[in-house]
Amino acid sequence: MIEKVGVIGSGTMGFGIAFQLVSNGTKVILVDSNEQALRFAQLKLSEYLKIFKEEGYLFKDSDEAIMQRITFTTTISEVANCDLVIESATENLQLKKKIFKELDQICHQQAILTSNTSSLKLSDITKNVVHHKERVLLTHFFNPAHIVPLVELLKGHETQQTVYDEVAQFMEDMGKVTIEVHKEVPGLVANRIQTALAREALALLEDGVISEEDLEKVLFAGPGFRYASSGILKIMDFGGLDVWRIVLAQLQPEIESNVRKFDILEEKVVNGQLGVKSSSGFFDYPGKGLDELVIARDRSLIKQLKTFKEMNGGKINA
């Protein structure tokens, strides 16, 4: 039974994972080597409880009860008696290997150890794990983790199926949607699809086929609008597999398939136009702080999450 969870790293993702856990009834030990990051996560926790309430998304428990469930600490040994530890520290293989080696030594034998890595291989991260090698998983959340339902799950080469099943059930009980990745491929599934989509979008933009503004509309008013309720296979079923067969044959030779650097992206990064974090990317964000923009994004995603739940009969997992 997973009753107490350690989260390593209180940054963008660690905060979201911890928020999802405590707001759904689970005790959390949130660890970060940076005291300031912990303080910021603590501040964000109470701010987001207010935001969810303002958006009409209510949790079972009071804010006080939720806040009492979380411990903020710079000491990793405080997760020793956690049933599950989710590592969500900086995307650096040596750092993650070091953290997992430490967790392997300090955590009790029945603890389950997982990583939220975006791009590293679980087998590399857990190379030095000895005592928990049958109890490791990759649990890949999506930003913002406190709102986006998906968690991609991948077993380690020696992970017990019962461990996988327990984590999958735990995630779904706290309102996430889980999928099982059956082979350890770089980027798992969603990031590969997201990358293929971004490649074609940037190619069309760079080749002058479409403007930035209209490229945005293409997705949120077109396929993206549908993706909120149907995956690609249902969309193909609705469209007719005979038609899709023709379209795939026609368009595959046409769409971008090269490994290419996009000048339009290179120029922006070189010029320091990094997106909302630098107030300018493909679009400008004059006079708005990063937090203000993130909160505005989250308010719209919370509205979307409420509709997503209603469409699935009140449960996230239909």
Ligand X SMILES: O=C(O)[C@@H](O)C(=O)[C@H](O)[C@@H](O)CO
Ligand Y SMILES: NC(=O)C1=CN([C@@H]2O[C@H](COP(=O)(O)OP(=O)(O)OC[C@H]3O[C@@H](n4cnc5c(N)ncnc54)[C@H](O)[C@@H]3O)[C@@H](O)[C@H]2O)C=CC1
* Binding partner selected for residue 190 from ligand X, ligand Y, none, CB under the kind-specific 5 to 8 Å limit: ligand X
195 binds ligand Y, rule: CB under 6 A:
no
Q: How far is the CB of 64 from ligand Y (least distance, A)?
A: 26
Q: Is 281 in the site for ligand Y (CB under 6 A)?
A: no
* Residues numbered 219-248 forming contacts with ligand Y, rule: CB under 6 A: none
Q: Indicate whether 92 belongs to the interface with ligand X (CB under 6 A).
A: no
> By CB under 6 A, is residue 191 in contact with ligand X?
yes
294 is an interface residue for ligand X by CB under 6 A: no
> Rule CB under 6 A: is residue 118 a binding residue for ligand Y?
yes
Residue 24 interacting with ligand X (CB under 6 A):
no
Nearest position to ligand X, beta carbon: 118
Q: Does 317 bind ligand X (CB under 6 A)?
A: no
291 lines the binding site for ligand Y (CB under 6 A): no
At 140, is the secondary structure helix, strand, or coil?
Answer: strand
Binding of residue 139 to ligand Y (CB under 6 A): no
Residue 11 DSSP label: S
The answer to whether the beta carbons of residues 92 and 124 sit under 8 Å apart is no
Q: Which residue is nearest to ligand Y (CB)?
A: 11
Q: What is the DSSP string of 78-107?
A: GGTT-SEEEE---S-HHHHHHHHHHHHHHS
CA-CA distances (angstroms) from residue 121 to 98, 127, 171, 201? 15, 10, 21, 27
Binding partner at 17 among ligand X, ligand Y, none, C-beta below 5 to 8 Å by kind: none
Report residue 107 as tokens.
Answer: 């955590």
Residue among 19, 72, 142, 308 that touches ligand X (CB under 6 A): 142
Query: Residue 246: exposed, middle, or buried by beta-carbon count in 10 A (0-12, 13-18, 19+)?
Result: exposed
Q: How far apart are CA 49 and CA 148, in angstroms?
A: 16
Question: 152 among the known binding-site residues?
Answer: no
Interface residue with ligand X among 189, 190, 204, 316 (CB under 6 A) is 190
Distance CA 276, CA 297 (A): 11
- Token pair, residue 114, equals 């997982």
Residues 6+ positions from 35 with CB-CB distance below 8 Å: 74
Binder among 88, 114, 126, 139 for ligand Y (CB under 6 A): 88
Select from 33, 42, 105, 118 the one that contacts ligand X (CB under 6 A): 118
- The DSSP-derived string for 104-127 is HHHS-TT-EEEE--SSS-HHHHTT
CB distance 17 to 6 below 8 Å: no
Using the contact rule CB under 6 A, the part of the chain among 64-72, 186-194, 226-234, 309-317 near ligand X is: 186-194
Judged by beta carbon distances under 5 to 8 A according to partner kind, the member of ligand Y, ligand X, none in contact with residue 191 is ligand X
Q: What is the distance between the alpha carbons of residues 196 and 200, in angstroms, rounded to a whole number?
A: 6
Kindly tell me which residue out of 22, 29, 37, 171 binds ligand Y, with binding defined by CB under 6 A: 37
Q: Does 26 bind ligand Y (CB under 6 A)?
A: no
Separation of alpha carbons 182 and 153, rounded Å: 9
**Selected binder of ligand Y within 4, 5, 7, 10 (CB under 6 A):** 10
Please report, as ranges, the residues that interact with ligand Y according to CB under 6 A.
8-14, 31-34, 37, 88-91, 95, 99, 116-118, 141, 143
Binding positions for NAD(+) are 9-14, 32, 91, 96, 118, 143, 277
